[in-house]
Chains A and B, each alone.
Chain A
Amino acid sequence: MSEMQSTLPTSTIEARRRPFLGEVARRRLEAILIPLLALIIGLGLFGVFIALVGKSPEAFYYLVYRGGFGTWFSLQNTMTRTAPLLLTALCVALPAQLGLIVIGGEGAFVLGGLAAAATGTWLAGAPGVVGIAAMALAGMALGGLWIGAVGALRHYRGVNETISSLLMAYIAIALMQHFVEGPLRDPASLNKPSTPPLPGNFRIGDIPGMDVHWGFAVGVVACLVAGFVMSRTTFGFAARIAGGNARAAAVQGLPVGRLILAFTAAAGAAAGLAGVIDVAAVQGSANASLIAGYGYTGILIAFLARQNPLAIIPMALLIGGIEAAGGLVQRRMDLPDATVLVLQGILFVAILVSETLSGRLLPALGLTRKGAP
């Protein structure tokens, strides 16, 4: 970290820390107002869609409220579904700080789960703390290597990270299936090929007093840490500069390559940890049920959060809540399960379109004078 600091030209820091008066307030206000406006418009558009197919939007939103947030049971349901999404969203948001779009978190997720299951089986008999720590490290290491390789391909060979991470997700899933049904298969897992069940003391339980496993807390802490690193450390600051303009950052002597490797590896470690938690807290072994699309939902959440690690927490809760309510919507309103996908798609587009308002919303409303975009 200290080495990083010495490479940073102080003049840049000064420039950033001493902004045009009112600029910070304007940005903060917009950063909240614009996505909020986009969400409201998206929810409204979806309401029109629901009305067009002959159902009641009020009933729909009431069910989403009840099924996702309105009761203690619903809220816990939402938090349970949110747990893996917090970490898979970080797998997108961290590389995005450098301007990289990584969409293959699903691969790191399933490999993280596989590594955890293999480690847990290998260490059976060890104390619980040791087992869980080793599983977490193994999963994060394999996930980190996987997405780190995407960063390395990008930096050393110029291979586009969006494409390579996607291809590697397919390869990761094939590898996981191969190991679960081949070398790592528990012979007793007859009709659902799985790795051997984890020893009981390696399982991760619920947060006391709640029906939500510890993965939720881990995800929240990870987002907070990522947010802190980005906004309060020179490391995060260097990344923000490199993300703004890689060439300028390189000219200024920033180690862009090391930043890319560090951020992609951290991203993969986050998704890998999500896989570890899914194995240790939910599945109890690695098997094909790990392929549940959490990596892909994480992309949606990261973009809804506009790649801000702190904003991932509310956005993941929003999406988790919508998914938690999906079953109720299906059963009560006779709407297909894909209703939730349509809502997610509309919200996604609305948030992206709203980006175009940044720097223009408040001036347009006459609240501030026009600042430099």
Chain B
Amino acid sequence: MTTDLGIWAVPLAVLGGALRVSTPFLFVSLGECVTEKSGRINLGLEGTLVFGAMAGYGGSLLTGSPWLGVLIAGLAGVLFGLMHGAVCSLPRVNDIAVGIAMMLLGTGVAFFFGKPLIQPAAPMLPAISFGGWSDVPQLRAALEVSPLFLIGILVAVLLAFMFKRTRLGLIIRMVGDSADAARAMGYPILPVRIGATAFGGFMAGVAGAYLSLYYPGSWNEHISSGQGLIAVALVIFARWNPIACFGAALLFGGAGALGPALQSVGVTSGYYLFYAAPYILTLVILFFTSSRNRALDGAPRELSITK
């Protein structure tokens, strides 16, 4: 029924883990990428993601359609994004601090309304099989992919194209690089930033719905293990490049699968340290790619976090 994989189980698990675990990172980091390109940082996406997980689960349960659940989660995310965007448009309001506050608020409201959703089982999102060609059942299972993952790749490509080739992308970049220049050109600064933050909120809401409606596919108060926060770090090491965000999300998801996979082939000691591997990896990459004297390549110059 199954094939004995031996040590090959580890790379397979890392591949499968990368495909399963990376999607929330991908969505949040793509959304945050657009927000940051416009010159704002939203640390509150963690709260938006948790709220999206709750709203998506509840939406799917009430409507019977998981895709409506995803949409509801995204729209809830837009509301959070608009709130962050609007509040940060007031003079003297710090966007990082507002993000931390929104993280608390989003999580609190999600837990508050999420109590009755812990028990029931909502309809789940379907999977698409890409492993039909293989005889190895483990590989077939690893290649069960969520449509949201594919949509995420598509969004990454579209965003990369948008930033490079379109007028909208140019405006967002200019607003993020130099508010003065954008103002001189007659572009509206605040609406662009609020819109970019709303988009980030939408993506984070969808990321939450992925957690509750696909993998691991349940609503509870431990559903997020900081994906929304880590994704913000991933944007920095992806250098605000949507395609690189995809790579960073895959890397982080795969590293997260390493711990359980190593135990399954007999590497059993020190699993806490293996579980910390993705965080150590991110920190090491940040260390080697940052520099004391120059701003990061590709960094939007209006961004408070890199100034």
Contact = CB atoms under 8 A, between A and B. Distances in A.
B125 interface: no
B270 interface: yes
Interface string A328-342: 000000001111111
Contacts of A358: 92
Contacts of B47: 345
A103 interface: yes
Contact of A166 (B233, B270, B273, B287): B233
Interface string A346-373: 1011001101101000000000000000
A115 interface: no
Interface string A36-75: 0000000000000000000000000000000000000000
Interface string A162-192: 1110111011001101100110000000000
A39 B270 CA distance: 46
B286 interface: yes
Contacts of A338: 107-112, 114-115
B248 to A, nearest CB: 13
Nearest to A300: B104
B109 A345 contact: yes
B287 A157 contact: yes
B287 A159 contact: yes
Given A163-B236, A167-B283, A171-B280, A349 B105 contact: yes
B101 interface: yes
Contacts of B270: 178, 182
A156 B110 CA distance: 39
A92 B286 CA distance: 22
A349 B102 CA distance: 7
B184 interface: no
Interface in B257-273: 269-270, 272-273
B108 A303 contact: no
Given A158-B291, A162-B43, A352 B101 contact: yes
Interface in B105-150: 105-112, 114-115
B96 A353 contact: no
B105 A345 contact: yes
A142 interface: no
B63 interface: no
B63 to A, nearest CB: 22
Interface in B276-307: 276, 279-280, 282-283, 286-287, 290-293, 296, 305-306
B101 A303 contact: yes
A116 to B, nearest CB: 20
A153 B272 CA distance: 24
A336 B112 contact: yes
A349 B108 contact: no
A312 interface: no
Contact of B229 (A166, A174, A341): A166
Contacts of A27: none
Nearest to B269: A182
A201 interface: no
A356 B87 CA distance: 10
Given A157-B291, A167-B282, A355-B92, A299 B100 contact: yes
Contacts of A353: 87, 90, 93
A159 B290 CA distance: 6
A343 B269 CA distance: 42
B211 to A, nearest CB: 18
B166 interface: no
A155 interface: yes
B101 A348 contact: yes
B279 A341 contact: no
B91 interface: yes
A344 interface: yes
A342 B233 contact: no
B275 interface: yes
B98 interface: yes
12 contacts: A153-B290, A160-B305, A160-B306, A162-B305, A170-B279, A171-B280, A175-B273, A178-B273, A338-B115, A345-B105, A349-B101, A353-B90
Given A166-B233, A299-B100, A349-B87, 15 more contacts: A157-B290, A157-B291, A160-B290, A167-B230, A167-B282, A168-B283, A178-B270, A182-B269, A182-B270, A300-B100, A338-B112, A341-B105, A342-B105, A342-B112, A346-B105
Interface of B: 43, 47, 87, 90-94, 96-98, 100-102, 104-112, 114-115, 226, 229-230, 232-233, 236, 269-270, 272-273, 275-276, 279-280, 282-283, 286-287, 290-293, 296, 305-306
Q: Shortest 4 CB-CB distances between A and B: which pairs?
A: A345-B105, A341-B108, A338-B111, A174-B276
